[in-house]
Structure 1
Amino acid sequence: MWFEADNLVLTVAQAACVALPAAGVPRALARFRNGWWALVLPLCIVVVIVAIDVTSVSADVLTWVALLLVPPGCALALGWAMRGARWWLAPLAAVLLAVAWADQDARGGQVATILLIMGSCVTLGRLLGGAAPTLLLKLGLVAMAISDAILVFGNTLQEPNAVLIAAQPGAGLPQLQSAAFHYASLGYGDFFAAGVLGGLLAIERRPQLIPAIAVLLVSLAWDQLFLVVDVLPATIPPAIVLIGVEIWAQVRARQRVGTLDA
């Protein structure tokens, strides 16, 4: 059986992104609701990999984009986007950034980075959940997992991803484009996929805790493939759980219809 405690920390963090998003977007943003937003999911992996493959400078740009956008995204999660959010919690994102910056090579800095990334993905999950039709967003999440799997198992993603992880904004600033805990690492897109799943469940008023636990369990089972491969696409577990949730919903709906007919 394959098991690494360091990897478990990241897996739990990813699963938490499913449980945390609340539902709805500000009324001012409702007019931007459009099905095209669902394309963000599959394209966020493909475009990044292609861009880095064309020029490694893209990785430097992306690490700066992450540095500039992840902390505000986390602040929005603490103050608005997550369940239990309070406006006065938003400044904690600045504290997390300070810890991630000052203690980059230690566990404290790594945990702060993980929390910053989690928060930003919770915000994105809530925003996308309210910005795109749910069916298209579900298809986008599955497409994201499929494209991720094709790139990983086709050995296309590993080299550009290594370049992205190694990219630094300079001046000793923290790297927020991916999360690491000791020897384990997880890409931003993996947290993003979980956050979108949480946003979908929230907007449809479905339970989120059980699917979050399911993501954790599916991830632990999926990780057994590390016995035979070195890299796995971690967007797969959220997609599997999404499919499972949809199948279970259909089963329950048919059971209710059968009960009424009886």
Structure 2
Amino acid sequence: MTREFWASNICLLGLQAAAVALPRGHSLPALERLAARLRSPWWALVPLASIALVVWAVNAEGQTADALTWLALIAIPPLAAAALGWTMHGGRPSLALLAIPLFALAWQAREELPGEAAASLLVMLSCVTLGVLLVSVAPHGWLKVGIVLMAVADAILIGAETLQPASTVLNAAAPPAELPQLQRAHFGHAVIGYGDYFIAGVFGALVAAEGRRQGRIALMTLAFALCFDVLFIWLDTLPATVPVALALLATEAASRRRRARTRQ
């Protein structure tokens, strides 16, 4: 791996850690009332389904990649605007308008670093919103299991070389008129899949909802990711969901140790 790859990859991992640090712990009262009606343990399967079903669908039918590309192009800008305006720390309605210049930059400079950075930022911000929404309707304990299962599935699919063909097709899919590709985060010489940011957004929303120190846990997630990515010396593809799951397990273990000391 080249120095350019490592530099690009570190930037993308920094955005993944930001997806852990940014989600707010509380949603709007109107959403909370709606979420109370929709609340179900079945939502905890969304992280696992987001990778397993997508890989299966893309491998089974190539046109699925085009459909997902269009879905990302349509859904991600408003989801990112929602993060800027509401679902992230410091978000306020006026900031939602920043999604417009970010999209314009991602479009006009799509093959240059500023455009790639803008597109990756939109992807990350959309995952902040999705994380907050999912945490509002899924029981936290079940959702933690879902995060771990997603990471396990990711590792298995990569080990079986089932994910790589689907990723190649999905990453290559492009909308017309040179519109930006928002179905993955691409910066310089590195690419991270949408699911890798999605799982970070869900984890960050869980951390926020439970009142834990997001900044510290985000840095721990980044540290796990940087250590894990040393494996790129020997491997071409790694499951970037695994460091997030490791950070979750480490956080839960530390929490249990604190509770045990309190009982004593």
With the shorter chain as reference, the TM-score category is over 0.9
Q: Distance in 2 between matches of 1:207 and 1:71?
A: 28
Q: Distance in 2 between matches of 1:5 and 1:185?
A: 12
Aligned residues: 258
2:182 aligned partner: 176
1:221 aligns with 2:223: no
1:27 aligns with 2:32: yes
Match of 1:158 among 164, 171, 176: 164
1:69 aligned partner: 75
1:5 aligned partner: 7
Match of 1:106 among 106, 112, 115: 112
User: Is this contact kept in 2: 1:2–1:226, CA < 8 A?
Assistant: no
Letter in 2 for 1:18: V
User: Is this contact kept in 1: 2:32–2:136, CA < 8 A?
Assistant: no
Q: CA deviation at 1:215?
A: 0.8
2:17 aligned partner: 15
Runs of 4+ in structure 1 over 3 Å off = none
Q: Distance in 1 between matches of 2:55 and 2:157?
A: 9
User: Is this contact kept in 2: 1:24–1:129, CA < 8 A?
Assistant: no
2:241 aligned partner: 235
Q: Distance in 2 between matches of 1:60 and 1:184?
A: 21
1:85 aligns with 2:91: yes
1:53 aligned partner: 59
Q: Distance in 1 between matches of 2:129 and 2:32?
A: 16
SS in 2 for 1:22: coil
SS in 2 for 1:221: helix
Q: Distance in 2 between matches of 1:175 and 1:110?
A: 9
The percentage of counterpart residues that share the same residue type is 47
User: Is this contact kept in 2: 1:81–1:126, CA < 8 A?
Assistant: yes
Q: Distance in 1 between matches of 2:101 and 2:39?
A: 33
User: Is this contact kept in 2: 1:15–1:213, CA < 8 A?
Assistant: yes
Match of 2:155 among 149, 157, 165: 149
Q: CA deviation at 1:257?
A: 1.1
For the structure 1 residues 170 and 245, does the alpha-carbon distance in structure 2 shift closer, same or farther, using more than 3 Å as the test?
A: same
Q: Structure 2: where are the runs of 5+ without partners?
A: none
Q: Distance in 1 between matches of 2:101 and 2:34?
A: 28
Q: CA deviation at 1:28?
A: 4.0
Q: CA deviation at 1:29?
A: 2.3
Relative to the length of structure 1, the TM-score reads: 0.96
Q: Distance in 2 between matches of 1:110 and 1:59?
A: 20
Letter in 2 for 1:27: E
Q: Distance in 2 between matches of 1:28 and 1:108?
A: 40
| Comparing 21-30 and 158-167, the one that deviates more | 21-30
Q: Distance in 1 between matches of 2:32 and 2:149?
A: 29
Q: CA deviation at 1:2?
A: 8.9
Letter in 2 for 1:29: L
SS in 1 for 2:185: strand
Q: Structure 1: where are the runs of 5+ without partners?
A: none
Q: Distance in 2 between matches of 1:93 and 1:29?
A: 26
